[in-house]
Chains A and B, each alone.
Chain A
Amino acid sequence: MMRGRWAAIVGAMAVPAVGITWALLPGEPRVRASEQRIAVVDGPRDDRHVGLDTTFFAPAGGGRAPAVLLAHGFGGSKDDTRAEAERLARHGYAVLTWSARGFGRSEGEITLDSPDYDVKDVRQLIDWLARRPEVRLDGPGDPRVGVAGQSYGGGISLLAAAYDRRVDAIAPQITWYDLAGSLFPDATGRGAANGVFKKVWAGVFFTGGASSTACGRFLPSLCAMYQKVAETGRPTPEAIATLRRSSPSSVAGRIHVPTLLVQGQSDSLFPLDQADGNARAVTGAPVKVVWFQGGHDGGDPETSRIHGLVTGWFDHYLKDGPARASSGPTQGAGGSAQAPGGSTQASGASAQAPGGSTQASGASAQASNGFTVTRTGGIDSSTQRVVVTAATARRYSGLSGTARRALPLDGQEQTIQNPAGGSPASISTLPGLGALGGVSGFGTGGAQLDMPGQSAAFDTEPLGAPVQLTGSARVRVRVAGGLATLFAKVYDVGPDGQAEPARRLVAPLNVAGAADVALPAMDHRFDTGHRIRVVFSTTDMGFASPARPASYRVSVDGPLTVPVDPALRTPATPLPWWVWGFPAIAGTAAVALVATGRGRRRRGGERGDAAVPLEISGLTKRYKNGHLAVDDLSFRVEPGQVCGLLGPNGAGKTTTLRMLMGLIHPDAGQIRIFGEPVRPGAPVLARLGSFVEGPGFLPHLSGRDNLELYWKAAGRGEAHMDEALRIAGLGDAIRRPVRTYSQGMRQRLAIAQAMLGLPDLLVLDEPTNGLDPPQIAEMREVLVRYAAEGRTVIISSHLLAEVEQTCTDVVVMHRGTLVAAGPVSEIAGHDGSILIGTSEVDRAMSVLTTLEGVHAVEPYAPGVLVRLDGSAPSVVVAALVTAGVPVDRVTPHRRLEDAFLTLIGEGS
């Protein structure tokens, strides 16, 4: 019993308990941070003294640990990277964050990651790190160090790796390859000189720091350059040269450290082609390219995924990687070719051989190459966030994919207008509309506007199968009507003709005649039945476009070439283990719960005499509240008997009958019906008809329906409906719902129900309650006749008269115990004793003790009790009268009644 309950509790708790242990997470250790101003010297002639505001985070584990330099984005400061710095420090890195010159509380001017300024600063920060006792060294003055940062900080990561060979790994994010190409993009591939001015982004970039002066903290020469190009909208060669010097494109081929490139798919400032350039700029070292959902336009920052990738990258190349690499003789041509600063320390750490030489480290490098594209699914309703899955491939495929599909484009030559003044302009994405661009994937809808008459659209046929475009689709465009500035974009057109921008990106081009156009790089799935639409429009709000009104005729030559990368595979969304685990645990728990709960049913298996309708032996039942309802009760009932179960209220009659029906479980002893032990649902119960403790009917059904449905539910053979209905004697009321019946009607219906199958053993509990005297008489007759046919009837009652009049046998109970059992004639009837009521007891005694045929005489108020032995009552009375003793009355004496009345008196 106890064991079973515990099993139940344990089973019920099993499911949540698993969750509890899971949620018990240890607290995070505190990170020790120290702020200091580090003095650096930079400038083209190394004569500019600048103080940099820095914070150093000691590694959580203690000892000497690899270091990470965390750079902030444009317009930010070292405080932006504090959270990530603490995270990395806890993860066992020494982390140095700093505000770049011109930002935060650092001194100096903004120089756009110039090698003459910012890069020199970083080199001196690395010197500083090399002197720290917390930082692990690869050699004298050469700390084990990685550089990471977003945007502006990503640019410095790449440039630092190119200019300082002590850098061991980098993780630049959403940054540029060619700043000139980013601000003057050209989709025809002819370079920034032919590019279209990205005026809004450029303006945000260069005037974001403006305060009392237009240039704010910009280096005046840079500011002057910007003002010049912004005025004309055309790049000068000097501007291109200056921007390019601040770009990894100027050091392409000189970066040889493991590089994790994270680029945003929602980024109109530094689109995916910038990461493509950077991927090709790194040589001789593993490169992993990640396209995530965020970017400068907003979108899901996927913070935890990016953090995980960066940490994993550094763990591999700072904690493990370079140690292996430096053990090999990998110093090669690539190593000596770099170091423009000339002051590079001897270091094997970053000197992996270029060209993918197959050193021991090559294998691990190979394993770490790769391409990850995150893709949005739907919204997870529990978190209300977009589900983002990551598709991965072993190698980066570039913007032209690992395979290409040519899809014919449909569309005549179309004439489009350039509005005077370039206004109104189409809108794709604008800085500051970041949130808008970010949610475009699931549609706030309609913000990308193509002005009427300004755009030419070319559609593919509806796709027969989904196409996953990964990279930069290409198309050859032909323009007649002079040099045109056009903006190419890609739409996804649904089966209902509704066009959504695949991404809010445009590829601008200056073209006269024909040109091959690289459409915006993206990852987008075009579903079956959708069309891919290429749009050329004459304006875009983010770009400078000619003010002169013009009209062009635009057509496409040949198909749309769509790059695909089938190697990119999305692993099935990882479901938590419990999605499969819980049902399994629950199933096991359920089996355990059901299996351990069977103990009580097993007791009392032996069979008895099949001819005995009812045999009860040692029956005991104690209720949960401690009340001992039945105490060691034993009796048997023979075939053909009408047995009365007699006792006052609370004697245990009903409890006994409930056990007889298998409704409650005895604590001890057993009940056998026709020899079969009774337990809940025992088939032998089918030979039992019962009416116990009142009727039980479905109140909404008629009496007849109740009987019929009950019989169908009983799973037995023929019902004796007509006879039963006759017993019920309800007349037309049988068709009314039971809820309209009186108590007596329900009572009769219930007795009829008990007799429906002519059971061999009929048990009726207080059957005459609520019946009127004629009905009682009738019922008595029915029961007597029923038993006369060889069946057995048990009637429980607290009324002696009823038992006496109906029953052949009687069992008397009191307080759960058997008081008496036997034929009524033996127990209830007189046993040869008579009571003589008289006022003169003493005289009567003296007369009777001498009388022949009298066995015994005793006083019995208000008279004497006479036990006869052969003598007739009339003789006794005659003797008394003769002797002159007054006789008030003569009654047979019943021991049973005597006892029973006493019991009733106690009970009531």
Chain B
Amino acid sequence: MNGFVGDQRSGDRAYRARRTLPLRVEAVRQLRRRRTWITFAVLLALPWVLAAAFKIGGSPSADANTPGLVSVATAGALNFTAFTLFASAGFLLVVAVALFCGDTVASEAGWASLRYLLAAPVPRTRLLRQKLIVALAYAALAVVSLPTMAMITGIYVFGWARLRVPGGDAALPNGTALTRMLIIVGYILASELLVAALAFLLSVATDSPLGAVGGAVGLVILSNIIDAVTALGHWREFLPTHWMFAWTDALQPHLEWTGMLKGASLSASYATVFIALAVRRFRNKDVVS
């Protein structure tokens, strides 16, 4: 402890708000977290688990009670991928997305590192922006990694085959099927945007990462339950999760855009409002954690 020699000047003049919390830095900060690794490990392991289940339990029967996507799940890599998405889009991907987006601000508050970032100073709106971008990128990577691994697993376990359309004998040509897969993944990304924004809003509103992630997942479940009340009629169309499976429209001989457009529109609308609320709240918030 010989004190500070040399530079007598402050760091003030070198400060640029635009250089604070670069995306790369935020990405590294999040990447090394255990929850990131566990999430990706689960997502990447899931296809193998499902494939093993099919191998042990045998291919699903095609009786009338089996949902369409399940009965053709083992037809080939493409079908297996579609099934994997079907099995996980309702909950697992929601949890993954909520985790990345709900945890990002709340966990910093929990660690108390948030106040040092803000005092650095990282401007509040910029902090939200950078964190949101990185969280969305991780969430997107998670969403994309699942079908990618499912495709690899599918090729390895079930081989390559034409995408068989559920409920029929029709099979889509490979080019079309791959395009459809891209559309499906794209739509799932769009529909999860809502979950991401909701989790992000809760992340800003609370200092507890568990509260933000659990709250977002809980609200999604609640929305699903309300969606099951058919008596609500077309009210249900405005529930956040109503269009969550609209991507199955892309697994038909004739691609049907309507549901996906509605779902994407609703997702974008909710997400916009949620993120605006998050910005508004965070900017005025007293950071006391």
Contacts and interface: CB of A to CB of B under 8 A. Distances in A.
Nearest to B18: A715
B119 A690 contact: yes
B124 interface: yes
A496 B174 CA distance: 11
A682 B173 contact: no
B10 interface: yes
Contact of A16 (B29, B238, B245): B238
Contact of B284 (A496, A583, A600, A715): A600
B28 interface: yes
Given A378-B249, A590-B275, A683 B1 contact: no
A12 B277 contact: yes
Given A382-B237, A665-B284, A579 B262 contact: yes
A514 B136 CA distance: 69
A699 B233 CA distance: 49
Interface in B150-196: 162, 165, 167-171, 173
A593 B273 contact: yes
Interface stretch (B137-145, B209-217, B263-271): B263-271
A782 B1 CA distance: 7
Nearest to B162: A496
B119 A586 contact: no
Contacts of B252: 378-379, 442
Nearest to A384: B248
B261 A718 contact: no
B270 A442 contact: no
A19 B238 contact: yes
Most buried by B among A381, A594, A760: A381
A15 interface: yes
Nearest to A719: B11
Contacts of B26: 713
B287 to A, nearest CB: 4
A593 B274 CA distance: 10
A445 interface: yes
Interface stretch (B49-57, B77-85, B110-118): B110-118
Most buried by B among A578, A686, A705: A686
Interface string B235-249: 101100011011111
Contact of A442 (B125, B168, B281): B168
Given A498-B170, A785-B3, A789-B8, A593 B277 contact: yes
Contacts, number: 293
A737 to B, nearest CB: 9
B234 A23 contact: yes
A575 B169 contact: no
B78 to A, nearest CB: 14
Interface string A160-185: 00000000000000000000000000
A446 B170 CA distance: 11
Contacts of A209: none
Given A381-B249, A589-B273, A663-B115, A758 B7 contact: yes
A658 interface: yes
A256 B287 CA distance: 81
Task: Give the bracket for the number of chain B residues in contact with chain A.
Answer: 35 or more
Interface in A20-68: 23
Contacts of B114: 696
B34 to A, nearest CB: 6
A442 B68 CA distance: 12
Contact of A11 (B12, B19, B243, B276): B276
A681 B111 contact: no
A710 B120 contact: yes
A576 interface: yes
A226 interface: no
Interface string A763-799: 0000000000000001001100110011000000000
A216 interface: no
A686 B171 contact: no
B132 interface: no
B61 interface: no
Contact of A529 (B12, B14, B173, B272): B173
Contact of B117 (A8, A376, A713): A713
A15 B239 CA distance: 11
A597 B284 CA distance: 7
A692 B288 CA distance: 11
Given A597-B284, A710-B116, A717-B11, A573 B1 contact: no
Interface stretch (A125-133, A264-272, A401-409, A720-728): A720-728
B268 A19 contact: no
B218 interface: no
B163 to A, nearest CB: 11
Nearest to B275: A590
B286 A663 contact: yes
A382 B22 contact: no
A370 interface: no
A104 B85 CA distance: 53
Task: Give the bracket for the number of chain A residues in contact with chain B.
Answer: 35 or more
Most buried by A among B25, B116, B126, B171: B116
A693 interface: yes
Interface string B1-41: 11110011111111111111110011011001110000000
B170 A443 contact: yes
A495 B28 CA distance: 49
B272 A701 contact: no
Nearest to A785: B3
B276 A589 contact: yes
B122 interface: yes
Interface in A670-695: 680-688, 690, 692-695
A723 B233 CA distance: 68
B258 A715 contact: no
Contacts of B13: 717
Most buried by B among A495, A694, A698, A760: A698
Most buried by A among B34, B125, B168: B168
B112 A593 contact: no
Interface in A596-645: 596-598, 600-601, 623
A663 B287 contact: yes
B238 A15 contact: yes
B11 A718 contact: yes
B113 to A, nearest CB: 4
Given A585-B269, A683-B121, A715-B120, A758 B28 contact: no
Contacts of B167: 442-444
B271 to A, nearest CB: 8
B91 interface: no
Contacts of B34: 700
Contact of B269 (A446, A582, A681, A714): A582
B279 interface: yes
B255 interface: yes
Given A697-B113, A720-B4, A663 B165 contact: no
A582 B265 contact: yes
A685 B173 CA distance: 60
B265 A580 contact: yes
B105 to A, nearest CB: 13
A759 interface: yes
Interface of B: 1-4, 7-22, 25-26, 28-29, 32-34, 111-126, 162, 165, 167-171, 173, 233-235, 237-238, 242-243, 245-249, 252-259, 261-262, 265-266, 268-270, 272-273, 275-277, 279-281, 283-284, 286-288
Given A19-B237, A378-B249, A710-B116, 14 more contacts: A23-B235, A380-B259, A382-B242, A586-B272, A590-B276, A593-B273, A597-B283, A681-B125, A683-B17, A698-B113, A709-B28, A713-B26, A716-B15, A758-B9
Closest 8 CB pairs between A and B? A443-B168, A717-B14, A696-B112, A378-B256, A590-B276, A681-B123, A715-B20, A757-B11
24 contacts: A8-B280, A11-B273, A15-B238, A15-B273, A378-B254, A382-B259, A442-B252, A442-B253, A446-B169, A498-B171, A590-B273, A601-B284, A661-B119, A663-B115, A681-B121, A686-B121, A687-B11, A713-B20, A714-B11, A715-B19, A755-B4, A758-B9, A760-B10, A782-B3
